[in-house]
Amino acid sequence: MIHTLAALSPLIAQFGDGHHTDWGDGWWILMAAGMALFWFALVAAAVVWLARGGSITRAQEPTRVSALDVLERRLAEGDITIDEYRERRAVLTGSDQRPGPSDE
């Protein structure tokens, strides 16, 4: 262990003066600006991520469509007649007295 420290002492002496290969005293300004830019970009990315919902992959939840909605759509598209609509609506609602579309 002592031999290792002795071997490293010239290297430690070279970097021990605080200038680290003598780059000068002004580099701290560039480093501070770079660090500020990094943290600003990180915070901005976090804000955008949270504003978009905070999820990397957001699966679309399937829209639930009721049987009555499907029945009304089929009537509107002309797939079924008004009589078929009324019969099927009565089965779905459990009542024969429910109003349906008029015959007009």
Q: Where does the pLDDT of residue 12 fall: very low under 50, low under 70, confident under 90, or very high at 90 and above? A: low
Mean pLDDT along residues 16-44 = 81
Q: Where does the pLDDT of residue 20 fall: very low under 50, low under 70, confident under 90, or very high at 90 and above? A: low
The pLDDT, as a whole number, for residue 37 is 97
**Tokens encoding 93:** 């609602």
Please choose, from the candidates 73, 60, 67, the residue with its C-alpha nearest in 3D space to the C-alpha of residue 93.
67
How far apart are alpha carbons 68 and 91 in whole angstroms? 10
How far apart are alpha carbons 4 and 55 in whole angstroms? 51
How far apart are alpha carbons 72 and 101 in whole angstroms? 10
Contact yes or no for 88/82 (Cβ under 8 A):
no
State what percent of residues in the chain have pLDDT above 70.
Answer: 62
